[in-house]
Structure 1
Amino acid sequence: MLRLAGLLALPAIIYALRQPIESGITHLVARRTARQTLITWGLTPTRENIHLYLTSHHTPAPATPAPLPSPPLPAIPPDTPFSSHWRYGDLFRNHRLSIGVYILAPALPDGLDTLLGDHPAGPGNTITLRLLRTRQELLDSFARDSIVLYFGHANFGKGIIFPPHSGDAPIPMGRDTLLIPERHLAPEDTVIARLDNGLIRIRGGADGLKNLNVQCNLFGYLGCRTDLYFRDIWQAHFPRVDFVATTYVTHSIAAAPAILHTWLTGLQRGHSLAAIIHDLNQNQSAEILFGRINETTRYHNPATHPAQLFTH
């Protein structure tokens, strides 16, 4: 009887175990696919890279972001820390925190219009988001706004550029030497060496920063690899101005509305710079993986692969 009871219970046991067994097999197949794909892409199949690959396929990307915080909002005491350099009382000048935003794009991304203008930030305080359209407006923003954000190209480390048809001169801010591909070599560039990997080493320089009147509390250069290109040179010139940058090649122009939404939400609630950067780095598996592929295959940099996209 006991043997018969055991035989009768066996199908139920197998049925109960079916789902975890199928799930385990699916997981193993997915990890094997991830390993093979990463190797094909030129990336080492580390545990972290496999995790990025698996999560990048279901990274949440809501079509409509949550509404911005609306009144009543709690007051932000002036002594609330923002960063190691600044408190919120420094950012709100006459109870207004002004953000200048330049976006280097033929057409502005959808969803930007709803973010421009004034936003409440507690009793008596206002955050103003302004769109900058020219080089001079960007220079004026450096001199008068609390926060300046530039969405555009790093130009392989040469610095801030503007649309060719505008006639606006670039703002060079690169390091002493730069590596660029042949197609980005300009007539005025001084060639130091041509490397076997097809890149050209040129003389850089940060002359464009010498006469820049920077009175802002924070500058965000949201282009490709701006942390690698510009952090040291920016902080050497403006050590008290917070610098927000990116670690990888990224699609920051298309993502500008979502990025600005995160900035506004954090500032309205009096969050620290570290907390805002943490929020910006959420759900970035696909961007980080894409960036790591570029570091390995395009820039021949197989070693330095940070775990975050945005830095401060």
Structure 2
Amino acid sequence: MKLCEGRIAVVTGAGRGLGRAHALMLATHGAKVVVNDMGGSADGRGDDQTPAEEVVQTIKAMGGEAVVDTSDVSDWKGSKAMIDKAVETFGGLDILVNNAGILRDRMMINMSEEDWDAVIKVHLKGTFAPAHHAGNYWRQQSKAGKPVDARIINTTSHSGLFCNIGQANYAAAKAGIASFSIVAARELQRYGVTVNAIAPRATTRMTEGLREWTPEQLERRDPEWIAALVTWLCSPEASKVSGKVFEAWGYGYAVAESWQHGPMTQASKNPAELGASIEEIIRFSRKNAGIDRDTWLDV
């Protein structure tokens, strides 16, 4: 059964890794795909249209429909042009998968302004700008009385949710994407749009060399495990699922729970009175969750 038959999708960063898996899986399930990728290196430098072209050729060889787009998703006009290409080429838009990203890992005190700005721009603005333009398209369709059953899938990270050291720029951007996704879900539901986010664990060029994996671990980190969840979330079957953040890999899928209200004490305008009460609520609060499910950290 093809879950996304006839649906029109834009996938950013679709030339390699997770984005490529998303594009191919969506096409396998009947979607027409705008394959967006500038073809830069893992740290965002350079450009090469070849990866996007290869994905499009693969989709066409499968009997599907796809087109290359090399817009910069973090550029306001470029991201609008990408959304417009879907509408002009295929006649509409049903799905936006925001996947494009780069890495420039440094300890915070060694991180340059350029390292910070580049990662924040690609991830955070590169999620907001396409979502903004897609959201406006769907709002116009809804106001014109046309049925809308649309999807935005954003890409957060375990680093953003659980705060991996050495990735202050990346974690800040990815945490922002998680919160942005929930806000966008609440704002766009009136127009027939669902918004969810995924925190994937997969072996791609951005994670190569981080550690040695066993053959089983490599299999469980295959991007197709994540692409399957994304494709289902993009389908009509998922019309009631919105505002969720999913952890995803071959070992399973989980709903990542957002910030929760913790222990509370009375307020005071006198800071000298606060010590004992603040220490008490800290004692009864949960420790910060680590990236591993059974890990809890003091800081």
Place the TM-score, normalised by the shorter chain, in its bin: 0.3 to 0.5
Normalised by the length of structure 2, the TM-score is 0.36
Q: Is the helix fraction higher in 1 or 2?
A: 2
**Greater CA radius of gyration, 1 or 2?**
1
Which is bigger in relative contact order (C-alpha 8 A, separation at least 6)?
A: 1
Normalised by the length of structure 1, the TM-score is 0.35
